[in-house]
Chains A and B, each alone.
Chain A
């Protein structure tokens, strides 16, 4: 068998494709977007046993995919064990400058950031919430130090990337605190984000949802009004949102206010406007179905969800929508096991590896 040539040092030359970044990266990426995580495990295992990975960065990227695959498949202990095979993340083994022949003129860490991100959250998934939160906050501190360091060297592109990472970790922390109903803390963190210039209609909308969850309806309305103002004053695509997405966000926020006031008819109307504009708006579809149910129209609420799964399966198929549909089946049919089983069988054929099939409660 021919000795595979080492992947050329990423990207000093003109890049064509992902495969220039790591060995057969395009294939890994393709599997990941299809949700074929078990195939990824196989591919990594094969690449390792056949010694197809030559450079340090190849090994690290493959390891990252492995860790990600285990995590997606909810095999958290294995994900954790995989990370444990590494030295400390900050070890010189994982620095470009340690291999000057392979990476001339490059320095810094070659650890893919997603490894740190997943490593920080694994304890939470393994039942050790405090350890996980501590790691996340330490990661935040690490990121902020990196930002300062890059700023002092005028590395503007790096600063941008690391700030985006800071943003993600903060958002992730808010999600964890919300999940544990630590509302005051979540509010403080999200306001902190907003005040630091990460002002963003999606974020302010989420602030509104948190306020609603608590019961502070007036506060939520205020937040949604800010979002609408941002839409009306919008200058360009500065908010990661397309025009359609922005308008739908505003409509969905309006719908929630109606829903809370028990005006389900108006809420449905808002959601229909969203769906008309963008037939892939799953949040609008799901929430519209719920409103129909609160309007005593169980049959139509079921139809909305079933149709969504039928027409846009790869977008509509998510655990929450399926749980809602199954709850509706349980209410609508005395003998609901049969219809749930049909759904379950369909899911098996269509769903990605990481789909949690226990949500059908079959």
Chain B
């Protein structure tokens, strides 16, 4: 990972990423003496059951006696959970690993003097270089390190919150006087790439469903996922009732099952109900731009290693500039083939001025092909004007020409100059025979 000029430098940088350590786990072959010295059913015999335990426990304590310099601890089970191989021993990170946007990059940097002479007046700098910027992490210019003896070291730890994607370079430089009094310059470069940990997709009606997908190589523990609504909205998170919370009767605690998103493509969905904060803001609804808010996501990985991201503003489907809206109020429950049926509709004028007269018709839409539900009678119905913020009910006679599940689609309202105001969304009906 490091590139350094081969030359006669007395100093060299050694770098190690210092993310959190991990717990070592490895189930060992450790045995209880009662499982090795005797047959497994021997304790059925009362004589054996009486005579054996003293021998076995003497043996166990003898083997585990630390003053006796034996490796009994690698062979015998002292405590039942020794079989898990998970003692709490921590292991240093063994490789650089992957690093993701929103995490903190932390690194141990050691500058070694591997020559036989002292070096003096060392100015050390550490910077992160990305496509867009150069961030200074450490600079000893104001107070240079006086000296590093032969075989000595100067250590420091740097931290940087990763806010950009793509290639990053940790640039370590040292400016120093070597033993000949020559001023030398040592640059060393350590490259790494920052990837995107999550993708967030949203779907919305008056509900916001956010789907978070994990692109990293580790499982992510969702510490907090919060929706911050825009000023005129309020949001409540909707959760399913928790299934079977595990209740520990002995300690009286309820374990909350953690939300863990599986690595490499696991998904967790969150549902929020959004309400307009006040009735006045209904006006805003008609205006068009519909910023709902943004999601704040905090996650944790190994030993609580923290990552944080915020989405961009999430927009609602633009509540349409619907000036005129068409709705179905009622459809008969029984619809027979080739028999006319009446559908009760409503037309609402959402504007502040009188509109109309209107024409309601079935649009000839080639995409949907042949229509199986058609207007019975005059193909265009004319409706008179409707006042500002007023509505008008009417009936349309339809007829179905095919059995089974069919769609009423393509009912359009327009004005007499062919400007279409609204298209009624498709409605399914079930057509039965006589």
- A interface residues, Cβ below 8 angstroms from B: 10-12, 14-15, 17-18, 21-22, 25, 29, 32-35, 57, 60-61, 64-65, 68, 71-72, 94, 96, 105-114, 116-118, 121, 150, 153, 155, 157-158, 160-161, 164-165, 167-169, 171-172, 174-176, 178-179, 181, 183-184, 187-188, 191, 194-195, 197-200, 202-206, 209, 211-217, 219, 222, 226, 229, 240-241, 252, 256, 259-261, 280, 282-283, 286-287, 290, 293-294, 296-299, 312-315, 318, 320-321, 323-324, 327-328, 330-335, 352, 354
Q: A331 touches which one: B52, B108, B299 (CB < 8 A)?
A: B108
Task: Report the minimum CB–CB distance from A257 to chain B (whole Å).
Answer: 10
Task: Report the minimum CB–CB distance from A9 to chain B (whole Å).
Answer: 10
Say whether, besides A14-B51, A203-B81, A96 and B87 are in contact (CB < 8 Å).
no
Q: Does B69 contact A (CB under 8 A)?
A: yes
In angstroms, Cα B24 to Cα A286, docked, is 12
Q: B38 touches which one: A10, A117, A335 (CB < 8 A)?
A: A10
Closest to B250 in A: A199
Q: Is the CB of A215 within 8 A of B108?
A: no
Say whether, besides A158-B44, A219-B258, A290-B21, A206 and B86 are in contact (CB < 8 Å).
yes
In angstroms, Cα B39 to Cα A110, docked, is 4
In angstroms, Cα B31 to Cα A113, docked, is 9
Task: Report the minimum CB–CB distance from A145 to chain B (whole Å).
Answer: 13
B331 surroundings in chain A (CB, below 8 A): none
Say whether, besides A12-B47, A33-B70, A287 and B14 are in contact (CB < 8 Å).
no
Say whether, besides A215-B302, A293-B108, A296-B155, A68 and B36 are in contact (CB < 8 Å).
yes
A315 surroundings in chain B (CB, below 8 A): 66, 73
B32 surroundings in chain A (CB, below 8 A): 114, 164-165, 168
Q: Is the CB of B36 within 8 A of A65?
A: yes
Q: A35 touches which one: B74, B80, B303 (CB < 8 A)?
A: B74
Please name 19 further chain A to chain B contacts, defined as beta carbons within 8 Å, in addition to the given A57-B38, A256-B88, sorted by A numbering.
A15-B52, A18-B37, A35-B71, A64-B36, A106-B44, A106-B45, A108-B45, A168-B80, A175-B86, A213-B303, A215-B302, A217-B304, A280-B66, A283-B89, A287-B90, A296-B156, A314-B71, A330-B16, A333-B114
B251 surroundings in chain A (CB, below 8 A): 199, 204, 226, 229
B80 surroundings in chain A (CB, below 8 A): 164, 167-168, 171, 198, 200, 240
Say whether, besides A21-B37, A205-B88, A213-B303, A298 and B74 are in contact (CB < 8 Å).
no
Q: Is the CB of A168 within 8 A of B77?
A: yes
Q: Does B76 contact A (CB under 8 A)?
A: yes
Closest to B114 in A: A334
Q: B29 touches which one: A72, A157, A229 (CB < 8 A)?
A: A72
Say whether, besides A320-B91, A327-B16, A29 and B48 are in contact (CB < 8 Å).
no
Closest to A157 in B: B49
Q: Is the CB of B110 within 8 A of A215?
A: no
Closest to A361 in B: B94
Q: Does B148 contact A (CB under 8 A)?
A: no
Report the count of interface residues on B (CB-CB < 8 A). Answer: 95
A and B contact pairs by CB, cutoff 8 A, 16 listed: A10-B42, A22-B37, A34-B71, A108-B41, A110-B42, A112-B36, A113-B35, A203-B81, A205-B88, A213-B303, A215-B302, A216-B258, A293-B108, A298-B155, A323-B94, A330-B14
Q: Is the CB of B29 within 8 A of A323?
A: no
Closest to B52 in A: A11
- Write the B61-81 contact mask toward A (1 if CB under 8 angstroms, else 0): 001001001111111111111
A354 surroundings in chain B (CB, below 8 A): 74
Q: B85 touches which one: A153, A157, A175, A297 (CB < 8 A)?
A: A175
Q: Is the CB of B70 within 8 A of A34?
A: yes
Q: Is the CB of A178 within 8 A of B86?
A: yes
Closest to B110 in A: A331
In angstroms, Cα B253 to Cα A361, docked, is 45
In angstroms, Cα B17 to Cα A327, docked, is 11
B70 surroundings in chain A (CB, below 8 A): 33-35, 314
Q: Does B157 contact A (CB under 8 A)?
A: yes
Say whether, besides A112-B38, A172-B27, A298 and B153 are in contact (CB < 8 Å).
yes
Interface centre among B55, B76, B258, B300 (most CB of A within 10 A): B258
Say whether, besides A298-B153, A314-B69, A174 and B84 are in contact (CB < 8 Å).
yes
Say whether, besides A112-B35, A312-B66, A334-B14, A287 and B89 are in contact (CB < 8 Å).
yes
A202 surroundings in chain B (CB, below 8 A): 79, 81
In angstroms, Cα B75 to Cα A27, docked, is 15
Q: Is the CB of B153 within 8 A of A314?
A: no
In angstroms, Cα B280 to Cα A121, docked, is 68
Q: Is the CB of B303 within 8 A of A206?
A: no
Q: A18 touches which one: B42, B46, B55, B74 (CB < 8 A)?
A: B55
Closest to B53 in A: A157
Task: Report the minimum CB–CB distance from B175 to chain A (whole Å).
Answer: 19
Q: Is the CB of B91 within 8 A of A212?
A: no
In angstroms, Cα B38 to Cα A298, docked, is 49
Closest to A188 in B: B246
Q: Does B139 contact A (CB under 8 A)?
A: no
Say whether, besides A117-B35, A321-B89, A332 and B83 are in contact (CB < 8 Å).
no
Task: Report the minimum CB–CB distance from A330 to chain B (whole Å).
Answer: 8
Q: Is the CB of B38 within 8 A of A252?
A: no
Q: Is the CB of A179 within 8 A of B37?
A: no
Say whether, besides A96-B41, A109-B39, A209 and B258 are in contact (CB < 8 Å).
no
Task: Report the minimum CB–CB distance from A151 to chain B (whole Å).
Answer: 12
Q: Is the CB of B81 within 8 A of A200?
A: yes
Task: Report the minimum CB–CB distance from A108 to chain B (whole Å).
Answer: 3
Q: Does B195 contact A (CB under 8 A)?
A: no
Q: Is the CB of B253 within 8 A of A226?
A: yes
B24 surroundings in chain A (CB, below 8 A): 320
Q: Does B396 contact A (CB under 8 A)?
A: no
In angstroms, Cα B89 to Cα A283, docked, is 5
